[in-house]
Structure 1
Amino acid sequence: MTIGEQVVLLDDAGNQVGTADKYAVHHDSTPLHLAFSSYVFDGAGRFLLTRRALTKKTWPGVWTNSCCGHPLPGEPVADAVGRRLTDELGLPGPHKLDLVLPAFRYRATMPDGIVENEMCPVYRVVVDTEPDPNPDEVDSIRWVAWTTLLDEISSGALDLSPWSVLQLTDLIPLGDPVDWPVGDPAHLPPVAH
């Protein structure tokens, strides 16, 4: 994370109401802000599972979807996805991105009281290169078959970040990730139009 990096603050309708320092915005009363999540797959259909760096302010050391982040003020969400894939996972673009869940929103509280509170569009990404994770962002990675991931979650062998659990509630009914329908960009938060 860059010191002074700004996040976009939102009202309940998804309109921008200001900006705030990314490092300072996450606390016990985190305001609603814009984010994104991405699910990265390779050409064989394997999913890239990542474990957050142990130094992260929110959910350190937790297994999660491939890459998350915050668009900068004025930055298109898809551009932010590409930027963070490069910065966090060493996956240079161009990336094949598909918007899957344009209107995903969640709020989750860590045991220490820090809150995540985000409008967080979800993207599917297909890559043809191996990741080279930034250790400041990612502790470890695993390529895993989607069905194996679901089996590990249902058996209790894998605990995921709360946002991934909630996203999977919406993604699993969509079937095979290769066949996930592309979401309608009109359903993105207004700030992302």
Structure 2
Amino acid sequence: MEQVVLLDEQGRGIGTADKATVHHRDTPLHLAFSCYVFNRSGELLVTRRARSKTTWPGVVTNSCCGHPAPGEPFTAAVTRRLRDELGLPAPAIDLMLPRFRYRAVMGNGVVENELCPVFRTVTDTQPRLEPAEVDEYGWVSWPLFLSLVTGGELAVSPWCGQQVDQLAALGDDPLGWPVADAGELPPAAAG
């Protein structure tokens, strides 16, 4: 069974839980990540979550999300999920937002409660979707995606909407965003 790392308010690991049972009306804070995949033209790979997902099924979101296993470095977790969900290589994984955190409640009461560092990778490889994870994808220019999300014309997952606001503050060119210091990651990232 896939495990997630449970956290205290300071981002320190306090235990583990089965991923399949952790999301409910009182979801504990746990460690996750998001990854934004760009091609060399600066287009973002946008995905639609599979309709079979427990949280936010069928919703448009960033490229890839997941949870590092206990003791698994973030770069290994991001690489694993990019391969498993999208069939993509990750030649380099850059840390963008080391302390992103959010809590969101679905209409049915299920809660997401994550400390979720945000990463970027660049590849020109076309994805091969895992249907249990992703229903569809498309490449879109970052300025257009930013405009659609911030203007309310494109509904996205709650984490993606909040991340887009913070990523936009890094500059207009997603390929030129400054890489964050890994020392700013939550303490649980150190193992």
Q: Distance in 2 between matches of 1:155 and 1:188?
A: 30
**Paired position in structure 2 for 1:142:** 138
Matches within 5 A, 1:28-47: 28-47=25-44
**Paired position in structure 1 for 2:72:** 75
Q: 1:5 aligns with which of 2, 5, 19?
A: 2
Q: Distance in 1 between matches of 2:23 and 2:177?
A: 32
Structure 2 counterpart of 1:15, one-letter code? R
Structure 1 unmatched ranges of 5 or more = none
> Identical aligned pairs, as a percentage?
59
| Aligned-residue RMSD, C-alpha | 1.0
Q: Distance in 2 between matches of 1:152 and 1:15?
A: 36
How far the C-alpha of 1:153 sits from its partner, in A, is: 2.1
**Paired position in structure 2 for 1:166:** 162
Structure 2 unmatched ranges of 5 or more = none
Q: Distance in 1 between matches of 2:111 and 2:61?
A: 16
**Paired position in structure 2 for 1:119:** 115
Conservation of the 8 A alpha-carbon contact between 2:89 and 2:123: no
Structure 2 counterpart of 1:117, one-letter code? N
Secondary structure (helix, strand or coil) at the match of 1:92 reads coil
Q: Distance in 2 between matches of 1:187 and 1:154?
A: 27
Matches within 5 A, 1:165-184: 165-175=161-171, 176-184=173-181
Secondary structure (helix, strand or coil) at the match of 2:82 reads helix
How far the C-alpha of 1:160 sits from its partner, in A, is: 0.6
Structure 2 counterpart of 1:159, one-letter code? A
Normalization by structure 2: what TM-score?
Answer: 0.96
Q: After superposition, what is the alpha-carbon deviation per residue over 1:40-61, rounded to whole angstroms, capped at 9, x for unaligned?
A: 0011111000000000000000
Conservation of the 8 A alpha-carbon contact between 2:104 and 2:112: yes
Matches within 5 A, 1:91-106: 91-93=88-90, 95-106=91-102
Q: Distance in 2 between matches of 1:153 and 1:80?
A: 27
